[in-house]
Amino acid sequence: MTARFAAALVLFFGLGLQAMAAELIMYEQAGCAWCKRFNEEIAPAWPNTEQGKRAPLRRVDIHQPAPEDLAGIVVERFTPTFVLVDEGKEIGRLRGYPGDEFFWHLIDEMLGKLEP
């Protein structure tokens, strides 16, 4: 096996594994005041938290076509809506942004449903 072929296999399988990991999908839209508040209070810290490492944040605009890998996830018109997805399946959903204190508690409950 050549080094290039081996590197391509690692890249291919690595990307496949990453795509199947848990993600916190944030359905959003321009002009959403509660999305803005989330962006100010939570978004900057999210990637540095245990929660963010376990389920990276992925943003999806509700006015754009749904990504193929999220075709089975129901898109609502209420924003923000947070959907915890693992291996392509919905694990939990949070409609709206309840403020920073309640958000962390509700997200921890959803993440508790993931297998360790």
pLDDT classification of 1: cutoffs 50, 70, 90? low
Residue 16, CA atoms < 13 Å, CB-side half-sphere: 6
Number of residues in the chain: 116
- CATH architecture designation of domain 20-111: 3-Layer(aba) Sandwich (3.40)
Q: 81 near 24, Cβ under 8 Å?
A: no
pLDDT in tens, 7-65: 444 444 444 444 458 999 999 999 999 999 999 999 999 999 999 999 999 999 999 99
CA distance 40 to 50: 19
* 60, 23 contact by CB (below 8 A): no
Give residue-wise pLDDT tens across range 61-95.
999 999 999 999 999 999 999 999 999 999 999 99
Instruction: Pull the structure tokens for residue 84.
Output: 């915890």
